Structure 1
Amino acid sequence: MQHTLKHARGFNKTLCASAVAIACFSAPMATAQEQTAAVDNEKKLERIEVTARKTTESLQEVPVAITSIGAGELSEKGISVLTEIQQFSPNTTLQTSRGTNSTLTAFIRGLGQQDPLWGYEPGVGIYIDDVYMARPQGAVLDLLDVQRIEVLRGPQGTLYGKNTIGGAVKYVTKEMSGDTQFTAEATVGSYSQRDMKLTGQVPIIEDTVYLGFGYANLNRDGFGQYLQSALPDQDRENYNKDLWAGRLTLEIRPSDDLFFRLGWDKTEDDSNAKGGYRLLPSVLTDAPVPDSKYDSYTSLPTWNKVELEGYSWLAQYNMTDALELKYIGSHRESYSPTNIDFDNTALDIFDVPAEYDDSNDTHELQVNYVDTDFTLVSGLYYYDGESCGNFDAILGVLGRAAFGTPGLTREVSGCNNSESWAAYAQVSYDITEQLSVSVGARYTDEEKTANVNNGLVFYNLYPYSGWIDGFVRPEGELVPQVLGNDPDGDGVFDGPAVESWSQFTPRVGVEYMMSRDTMFFASYAQGFKSGTFNPRATTNEPGVEPEIVDSYELGVKSDLTDSLRMNVTLFSYDHNDRQYIGIGSDLSDPTALNQRLRNAARTAAKGAEIEMTYVASDNLQFDVAYGYLDFEIKENNAVPPIIAAASTPENTLNVSASYLFESDIGDFIFNANYYYRDDYFLFETSDLIQQDAYGMVNLSVTWESQDGNWYGGIHAKNLTDEEYLVGGYDFVVPLEGGGFGPGLGGDTTLIGYYGDPRTVHLTVGYRF
């Protein structure tokens, strides 16, 4: 939680109630001040305000399991990227996906989605000021001008809708004050890290029109390198960073009751494709297990790209002191050509160059009412998204050996587009001064259209000319369409496959204020993950039904004393109609990439989450976050069978301490935290890649001058240099006598991707 000890001129400044949020990336709505320091006693716990229920409330009064990490704590700990948030939220996994530096793998309470291919829906929603980020590509956000990060655990199917069966992560941007402000910040560190950030705001018409801006340029050399490459004269850095991001925001306030905002943002990530670590030596070429977990081999180009651009607009009208009307709209586009070498050798054994091309538009109309004992949050929501792509699974060595051809490629391309609308409402009513109830519901209607082209070509095919030296598609030659609308069953497709689903998701809760500082709550909530089509289909097949999660929570939020806060949540859930990506029935063709998408399993879990803050003195604070998850498989028709929750440990623990030292030259804050994750499997159906339990130590020292203009910090991450897996590929065959035989592609492809090693960086900034 946000540090409570810093005096008023620091990060705990009380913000003007009429200020509105600066848009960072796509910003759709104004947010209230993050937190108000206790004014009568410095030792008191802070009041932290959140917008988890789309209205501004105290964290301790929201009957939701939520972690809020404010701007001060993010700065003090040197947190600069979204994935680091997992350390501070129980039962949360936010990790960089395999093969790229900017694709997110997100799980909360064991619920999420690991495969980032178009068509597969996430299980944890990512929101930038309540605008939904539909695809995981580019979702590993670098934090720029952020007010706080909120992690909502458990299904959020009422207010946030589909694809939040695990929960939601909200990126809330800073408020605009209306004064001229400018901040410049530079960072240098390990692996030649060199970052620069510029943010600010300028009033164009005093008290009426404001312009906000932000720019970041982030660079770092690779943690490792490509030891072998089939291509000369290319950048061999592995796990490097080369990214810039910019945004502009125009805010207009014609009167006290009327507010408009227009926002634009763009991000370009030119970091190299991420090469994996061979856990086994190759049997087809000289590719032994490297000495460093961050070294790799490749036969593909090392370049990679993620381009994101978005527009947002907001109109807000306060009809009365209690009634608010709000319209939020957005348009986002992303394009990601990527080079993923599955086998990580200098031969074309199993290479997968791919393209992702997405765009979506959202419109939301809200009607919100807040009275003394009655609160209503309601709205209409519309989403129209196009998600397309193609990949070429190049099995060149196999093609030349088995068929005597120049190569072999299984190409898959298509689109999986969605159009949906929803109506939602949630009412909170105080029956007495102590007892209140909340009732909410959302109705969603969604239609998806999809087509898939899937087939073999007997040469090495690449997505477009110039991708790599080699073959490109001859003009007019196409792989066959295998998924589409074929009402006659004659194999002639009249158009894309079309299916629709509708879902009613309720929530019921009761809250009891035992005292001014202690609230008990219990709730039932339902969430759903959208129905979809198989983006790797090899035959015409129907779409799968939505996944449904029924969740029960019992919790207490209590400020036991003025200096001790304890929040505890017990939960259980049933996860029905799990969409499972398994093998098909035809096992005779090693080139088929046999995959079948179906509703094949039912799982459940129960667990506990504890978050504690203890303010020991005016200068010293301790925080603890613990999560426990007991995962259960109730029905298992998957092939191969499910054995565990992917990327999800049974226990997570974070213990941190913060100390404030005041001096004549400014304030110093010393931060230390220890983060522990239990062992876990990388995949839900395989025990071939497992991460043992590990602990991580981080230390930081930050400083702010007496006048508040200058600031700086030294941050040491992963001090013990722990090596921990965050992704992988397992295309091998376990042998009865032990060891592994070759899998798809004819090689022992068992690959791991790792989190960041030990790093140290220094940040210096100036603001006025």
Structure 2
Amino acid sequence: MLTFVRTTLLASTILAASPALAGTTAAPAVVDAAQDAPSSVGTGATDEPEIIVTARRRQESAQAVPLAISVVGGEHIDNTGTFNVGRLQQLTPTVQFSSSNPRNTTLSIRGIGAPFGLTNDGFEQGVGIYVDDVYYSRAASSTFDFLDVAQIEVLRGPQGTLYGKNTTAGAINITSRQPTFDFEGRAEVSVGNLQFKQAKAAISGPLSDKVAVRLALSSTSRRGTIYNVKSGNWINEQDNLGLRAQLLYRPNDDLDITLSGDYSIQDPECCGTVFARVTTTQRAANRQYDALAQSLGYTVASRNAFDRLTDVDADLNAGNKIGGAALRLKWDRGEGTLTSVTAWRFWDWKPANDRDFTGLPITTKSQNPSQQNQYTQELRYNYSGTHYDFVLGAFGYYQTVRTQGTEQLGSAASRWLLNPGSIAAAPPGLPGCGPSASNQLACDPSVLNGLTAFNTIYLNNTSAALFGQFAWKVTDALTVQPGVRVNYDKKVGGYQRLVFDGSGNPVLFTDPNTGLPITDIRTAARRDQLTPQKFDVADSDWNFSYDINVSYKVTPAVLVYATYAKTFKSFGINLNGVPNNAVTGEPILAVATIKPESVNHFEAGIKSRFLDDAVTLNLSAFRTDISNFQALVNSGQVSTTRGYLANAEKVRTQGFEADLSLRPSERFHLYVNGAYTDATYRKFSGAPCPPGLSGGGTASPASPAGTPGGNSPASCDISGSPLPGVSKWSASYGAEYNLPATLFAKEGQVYFGFDGNARTHFSSNPSPSAATDIAGYALSNFRLGFRTKGGIDLFGWVRNAFDVKYFELLQVAPGSTGLIVGTPGDPRTFGGTLKVQF
């Protein structure tokens, strides 16, 4: 079915392009400014000095907004192949994105936003994603293609007094192209290597003098970038299909009522990894990765990650459906505008993973499908006057999450995962498993083979808020703008894991008949890998936050500003399980709830234009201090707790940013955006340990890292260490040059464009380690094409032109064997794109 839809979309896109290429004219269209917005971070035909944004819930020049903001126009999104938020980080260096699969997606700004690693549904995002005023509660939505996008605004810093859901790190405000009362259409088709095919189409026009409609579709498919020698398939492919429909009712010039709906689906074979490297842990020498692999006769497909070979043997899937409906009302009351946004969104997630990252039957099944629904209502009134402006808003939010998971271990699990123990006799025939072997428990496959856990998770999440900002125009140059927010949050959730051995018998902590603890060593070994657990948790909290911004126009072209914000990120609950009491097996409920983050944010900046608006230069400096930072703690085993949240005492992110745009003539445009970000744990005394300190005994004192057979600390103090995923230096840059030309009997421009981005090294693990450090890299993209004012754009492109070999993500494999696996970034890709507007 998806193939049929894609073929039809591709054919219709080409047909739509044909009249324009042949010289046929269409009815002229009157397009709003937001329909073809210019870009503050890109280059192209529609770039202009004046960029209109809605960051403060009203239309105004980006240079007049006293906050750090980057604007990416729809044209630049298309030209650079930036078709989802993951690729947006290549254009905006203050955005950090990592994803091992859609659910385990981390989106941060300036190093903060969400815990790095496995995602827990019981906490909030620090970066808000808004599409046409609708809040998207999960970063998984960012893995989908942008659909008919006019403009993206990246707002850095807390935004809770302006936006519906509180956001402590920033917001990504996405505006789609809206229905028009003049007929218009656009079509785009791209083809490239790796069997890349992408088609986009949109059409808009009136149904009557009061009703307009807009329809948009998008499809992306590409062969995977990693070859699985076990299955014979290319994995980590792209397989996206999306559609959006909008109906605008305008009974008079004062009132717009827009009903919109969207639906997107992904169905790739994803997400696998490759062998990256091995580090030495505290496990005994014969329990390290290389020794275990040799004893089992296992050889990985390749020890060179950029051979792009894997042999993972479990099912892989990243089935993903997301969609919803929204009703937006905008009523112009003359002195102000009343806006109401009512929305429902859903997300269905059907994953399958290989959690041992090898071709051995260790974890043979790992899947936690979930169904999420959210309902939001925002009511907002904007007033703009001569002496003051203000925004008043109310926001309500309700979310439900239901998850049903299955985890199962295989015949190699005992050998791979268990530490030395003893049983009466070892089964013959396994290497190193004679009667005198010290690791006889680990040599008995029946201990863990077939061990299965069934997980049930639920969450009911309620939030309500009143918020507002007041801007007092003290003089024509000086504006003082305070803001406040009152927020209520309530979370009710629960976690249950039922565990059964390979014969179907329940794995328990106590005997149901006698009530006595079960101390059998085989049962204890099973509980250590898949821990039975059940708990329910509920909590609620009120929070008050505020900010104040002072801005001053030194000249009409120079604005300086300073901001202080006292804000928060609401409390969370652990929904991936919590540690159990080692004696009774009862969940330690003291860590079931995570304290709210307390945030103090300082920022100052300058926005300027000079040389007759040919040069735009914006500078900002910031410092954000967070107490009780919500951080992820990972278990070293397969899934004792598959990662749970804890509070780091203090975190600080500070730095400066510069955005430069230069356009000396209509023939040439250059931009450079740079960021220095120093994001560190100021104090984190109970952190998870890096891989080199894991897997050892529990006796004191702890041994130096990488001591086989040594002792491991229960936790580590990583105070002063950098936050994961953050490069200290990062930049994006680009230029374009064009010349007048005639092609297909049409006058236009031949242009050559370049876009690049670079970043220094960064940590890919919650606790830094040389084994999980990713080296810095720079990527370069080129395009050469021809475009006309009539709406034709034909260009060829090459991305990662120099075929730079880099990792997007490194992960520590479970079991403390020292295995590090990685997700390689895209290799060099190339192709062509045809875009037509009519």
1:138 to 135, 141, 157: 141
Structure 2 residue matching 1:72: 3-state secondary structure: helix
Structure 1 distance, partners of 2:461, 2:638, is 33
Cross-structure match for 1:693: 776
Cross-structure match for 1:254: 251
Per the TM alignment, residue 556 of structure 1 is displaced from its structure 2 partner at its CA by 0.3
Is the CA contact (8 Å cut-off) linking 1:156 and 1:526 kept in structure 2?
A: no
Cross-structure match for 1:593: 641
Instruction: String of CA shifts for 1:17-41, please: whole Å, max 9, x gaps.
Output: 9x59xxxxxxxxxx6884699xxxx
Give the letter for the 2:554 counterpart.
M
Structure 1: unaligned runs, 5 residues or longer: 1-13, 21-30, 230-234, 462-477, 485-496, 733-742
Count of residue correspondences: 687
Cross-structure match for 1:529: 569
Is the CA contact (8 Å cut-off) linking 1:99 and 1:273 kept in structure 2?
A: yes
Is the CA contact (8 Å cut-off) linking 2:30 and 2:182 kept in structure 1?
A: no
Give the letter for the 1:249 counterpart.
Q
2:665 to 614, 617, 622: 617
Q: Tell me which moved more, 53-62 or 131-140.
A: 131-140
2:833 to 747, 763, 767: 763
For the pair shown, the structure with the greater C-alpha radius of gyration is: 2
Structure 1 distance, partners of 2:104, 2:345, is 16
2:413 to 385, 395, 398: 398
Structure 2 residue matching 1:456: 3-state secondary structure: strand
- What TM-score, normalized by structure 2, do the two folds share? 0.78
Is the CA contact (8 Å cut-off) linking 2:660 and 2:673 kept in structure 1?
A: yes
Structure 1 distance, partners of 2:406, 2:141, is 21
Cross-structure match for 2:425: none
Give the letter for the 2:604 counterpart.
L
Per the TM alignment, residue 638 of structure 1 is displaced from its structure 2 partner at its CA by 2.3
Is the CA contact (8 Å cut-off) linking 1:162 and 1:528 kept in structure 2?
A: no
Per the TM alignment, residue 714 of structure 1 is displaced from its structure 2 partner at its CA by 1.4
1:419 to 456, 462, 478: 462
Structure 2 distance, partners of 1:383, 1:219, is 34
Describe how 1:319-334 pairs up with structure 2 within 5 A: 319-320=333-334, 322-334=335-347
Per the TM alignment, residue 385 of structure 1 is displaced from its structure 2 partner at its CA by 0.4
Cross-structure match for 2:819: 749
Per the TM alignment, residue 757 of structure 1 is displaced from its structure 2 partner at its CA by 1.5
Per the TM alignment, residue 561 of structure 1 is displaced from its structure 2 partner at its CA by 2.2
Structure 2 residue matching 1:176: 3-state secondary structure: coil
Instruction: String of CA shifts for 1:527-564, please: whole Å, max 9, x gaps.
Output: 32221111122413441121122110011000032211
Structure 1 distance, partners of 2:168, 2:759, is 22
Give the letter for the 1:516 counterpart.
P
Describe how 1:376-387 pairs up with structure 2 within 5 A: 376-387=390-401
Describe how 1:180-195 pairs up with structure 2 within 5 A: 180-195=183-198
Structure 2 residue matching 1:366: 3-state secondary structure: strand
2:121 to 118, 122, 133: 118
> Compared with structure 1, are the counterparts of its residues 228 and 32 closer, same or farther at alpha carbon in structure 2 (3 Å cutoff)?
closer
Q: Say yes or no: does 1:340 pair with 2:353.
A: yes
Structure 2 distance, partners of 1:98, 1:260, is 39
Task: Name the structure where strand makes up a greater proportion of residues.
Answer: 1
Per the TM alignment, residue 399 of structure 1 is displaced from its structure 2 partner at its CA by 4.9
Per the TM alignment, residue 595 of structure 1 is displaced from its structure 2 partner at its CA by 4.9
Describe how 1:730-745 pairs up with structure 2 within 5 A: 730-731=812-813, 743=815
Is the CA contact (8 Å cut-off) linking 1:118 and 1:389 kept in structure 2?
A: no
> Compared with structure 1, are the counterparts of its residues 537 and 651 closer, same or farther at alpha carbon in structure 2 (3 Å cutoff)?
same
Structure 2: unaligned runs, 5 residues or longer: 1-27, 279-288, 416-443, 505-529, 579-586, 689-716
Cross-structure match for 2:261: 264
- What TM-score, normalized by structure 1, do the two folds share? 0.84
2:52 to 27, 49, 52: 49
1:678 to 760, 763, 766: 760
Q: Say yes or no: does 1:498 pair with 2:518.
A: no
Structure 2 distance, partners of 1:511, 1:591, is 51
Give the letter for the 2:684 counterpart.
N
Per the TM alignment, residue 699 of structure 1 is displaced from its structure 2 partner at its CA by 0.7
Cross-structure match for 1:213: 215
> Compared with structure 1, are the counterparts of its residues 678 and 560 closer, same or farther at alpha carbon in structure 2 (3 Å cutoff)?
same
Give the letter for the 2:462 counterpart.
E
Per the TM alignment, residue 694 of structure 1 is displaced from its structure 2 partner at its CA by 0.9
Cross-structure match for 1:5: none
Cross-structure match for 2:318: 304
> Compared with structure 1, are the counterparts of its residues 357 and 731 closer, same or farther at alpha carbon in structure 2 (3 Å cutoff)?
same
Structure 1 distance, partners of 2:656, 2:29, is 35
Give the letter for the 1:444 counterpart.
N
Cross-structure match for 1:232: none
Give the letter for the 1:409 counterpart.
T
Cross-structure match for 2:797: 715
Instruction: String of CA shifts for 1:664-702, please: whole Å, max 9, x gaps.
Output: 232223211231101000122131311111111111123
Cross-structure match for 2:65: 62
Give the letter for the 2:735 counterpart.
A
Structure 1 distance, partners of 2:163, 2:532, is 38
Structure 2 distance, partners of 1:555, 1:460, is 65
Cross-structure match for 1:740: none
Structure 1 distance, partners of 2:112, 2:356, is 28
Instruction: String of CA shifts for 1:61-119, please: whole Å, max 9, x gaps.
Output: 10110000112322333433322221222322134x1145x864211111022232322
Is the CA contact (8 Å cut-off) linking 1:158 and 1:426 kept in structure 2?
A: yes
Is the CA contact (8 Å cut-off) linking 1:244 and 1:267 kept in structure 2?
A: yes
Per the TM alignment, residue 236 of structure 1 is displaced from its structure 2 partner at its CA by 1.6
Is the CA contact (8 Å cut-off) linking 1:91 and 1:651 kept in structure 2?
A: no
Structure 1 distance, partners of 2:498, 2:39, is 60
* Percent identity of equivalent pairs: 25
Structure 2 distance, partners of 1:45, 1:712, is 21
Structure 2 distance, partners of 1:632, 1:657, is 34
Structure 2 distance, partners of 1:84, 1:364, is 29
Is the CA contact (8 Å cut-off) linking 1:224 and 1:292 kept in structure 2?
A: no
Task: Name the structure where helix makes up a greater proportion of residues.
Answer: 2
Cross-structure match for 1:442: 485
